[in-house]
Amino acid sequence: MEAFLISTGIVALAEMGDKTQLLSLVLAARFKRPWPIVAGIFVATILNHALAGAAGAWIMAAVGPTVMRWVLGLSFIAMAVWMLIPDKLDEGEVKASRGLGVFAATTWAFFLAEMGDKTQIATIALGAQYAPLFAVVVGTTLGMMLANAPVVFFGDAITRRVPIKLVHTVAALIFAVLGVMALLGVGA
C-alpha cells in the first residue's frame, strides 16, 4: 500500500503545471471531446509508466541495492531541483497529433510528451525503490489522472486557482526528503 500511496501522491504533485498537464489543456481546447482525451491520457500513461517502472526495477536488479541507494538518493534530490524549474509545452508535441482521431492523437502526443518528463523519471525511481511494481504503476497512473482529468473537463478555471509555485515547492520538498532518506538508508 505504501508503494501505491507514495507513487500516487508524488506523481500528482509533480504533474501540477507540468508540460503534460499543459498538453491536456491544449488538447481539451482543441478537440472539445473530454472522454476520448481522458481515455488517451490513461492509455498513454499506463504504457509509459509500465515501461518506466520496469526499467527502474531492472536497474535495481542490475546494480544492486548499495549502488541503487545512492542513485535513488541523488535522483530524488535532482528531481527536487527539477521541480522548481517551470515547464513549457513544446509545440511539436501538439503538431504530432494532426490527422489522427481524438483518442489516438491524445495517446500519441501524451506518450511522446511523457518521455523523459519529470513524472516518467520519478516513475523509474519509484519502480526501483518500491515493490510490487504493479502498485507503483497503478499509483503513478492514478496520480497522472488526478492531475490531468480535471484539467480536461474544467480547463483553465482550475489552473488559474491552483498556486502552481506552491505545489512545485511542496513536491520539491517531498523529493528532497525522499532523496535524503534514500541516501541515509532510511526505510531500506
pLDDT in tens, 39-66: 999 999 999 999 999 999 999 899 988 8
What pTM value is reported for the model? 0.77
Grid cell locating 21 = 498537464
Work out the pLDDT band at 124, boundaries 50, 70, 90.
Answer: very high
Give 100's DSSP letter: S
Q: How many domains does the structure of the chain reveal?
A: 1
Closest CA to 54 of 118, 124, 143, 156: 124
Report how far residue 81's alpha carbon sits from residue 171's, in angstroms, rounded to the nearest whole number. 10
With a cut of 60, say whether residue 97 has pLDDT above it: no
E-only strand ranges, 55-107: none
Confidence (pLDDT) at 55: 94
33: containing domain? 2-184
